[in-house]
Chain A
Amino acid sequence: MASISPDCQELKDKYDTCFNNWYSNKFLQGSIESDCDHLFTLYRACVWKAIHEKNIDRLIQDARKESPFREAPADPDAAHPSSS
């Protein structure tokens, strides 16, 4: 899958491979170990540079600030449809 910037493609591909392996083989097995931090630091720096250059960082901030939906998405209890 393409990255927002072709400059980040190689970093994205490496990170995605690492993340998907980690998710299947560590995270889903209950491990709290993280394997991909170093790759993410590099990929994140690249992708946020592209976000700044395209002025999307303002859109991201505005969406969080002006969103008409103020629901706290981190509430884990709200994630269970059966509990309602």
Chain B
Amino acid sequence: MVRVFQQSFDYPYDWATATRAVWQKYPNPFASHVISSDLIDVHHDPATGVLCTVRLFRKMGHVPRWGRLFMQSGSNEAYILEHAYVDARQQTMRTVTQNLSHTKIMVVEETQVYTPAPDAPTARTRVTNKARFISNAGWESIKSRIEGFGLARFHENTQKSAQGLSYVMERLAGTRAAPRLGAVVPPSP
């Protein structure tokens, strides 16, 4: 069984600012569980103008006690892969993320599409968020429980993720002071 969750909302920033923020989303105060972020592949098609990227994130996972039974070595870390497609001409950005770790417990695929809001295209950006959950656990009762857990967790995470992205947009738009996130200062000679 696959469970699907979808919602959309607007950010009060133009599309260019919104998509710039997606690239600079981490770190932010709402994502302390994200430990690392790397761009591992990039392709810019000169014919279509579409930019395709692959990013790898490492996160501290949240798995309930019963879920840890399925996990190896008690590790609470998880890797997440993100494919992004940006079409500047059409003003569309699409990101697709999927967990690489703990896929025996559950696979979560999340798609986010950013477009100018139809009723205020220069002022707001609409994001449509869709997630699909599928559990590969053997027993139906456990499977359903895991998928239910994933869905509940997803509501919570979506909100936190949007708060984090808003924070970065505010900073890029100059409506919020740049955060001090432990910048490394080179020693003076």
**Interface magnitude class on chain B:** 35 or more
* B37 interfacial contact with A, CB 8 Å: yes
State A60–B94 Cα separation when bound (angstroms). 20
* Structural contact, A73 and B96, CB atoms closer than 8 A: yes
List 18 interface pairs A-B (beta carbons < 8 Å), by A numbering. Answer: A1-B34, A2-B36, A3-B37, A15-B39, A19-B23, A19-B42, A20-B23, A24-B16, A32-B49, A48-B40, A56-B79, A63-B100, A68-B2, A68-B134, A69-B98, A78-B94, A79-B94, A81-B8
Q: Which A14-37 residues sit within 8 Å CB-CB of chain B?
A: 15-16, 19-20, 23-24, 27-28, 30, 32, 34
Contact of A73 among B88, B94, B134 (CB under 8 A): B94
Contact flag A1-B27 (CB < 8 Å), given A67-B98, A67-B107, A73-B83? yes
Q: Which B156-189 residues sit within 8 Å CB-CB of chain A?
A: none
* Structural contact, A32 and B37, CB atoms closer than 8 A: no
Contact of A74 among B42, B85, B93, B107 (CB under 8 A): B85
Please report whether the interface of chain A is mostly helix, strand, loop or mixed according to DSSP: helix
Interface string of B30-70 (1 = CB under 8 A from A): 00001111111110101011111000101000000000000
Q: Which B102-125 residues sit within 8 Å CB-CB of chain A?
A: 103, 107, 109, 113, 115, 118
Q: Which residues from A are CB-within-8-Å of B58?
A: 4
Minimum Cβ distance to chain B for residue A30 (Å): 6
Contact of B115 among A12, A40, A78, A81 (CB under 8 A): A81
Minimum Cβ distance to chain A for residue B98 (Å): 6
* Structural contact, B89 and A1, CB atoms closer than 8 A: no
Count residues of A near B (Cβ-Cβ below 8 Å). 40
* A80 interfacial contact with B, CB 8 Å: yes
* B26 interfacial contact with A, CB 8 Å: yes
Minimum Cβ distance to chain A for residue B20 (Å): 6
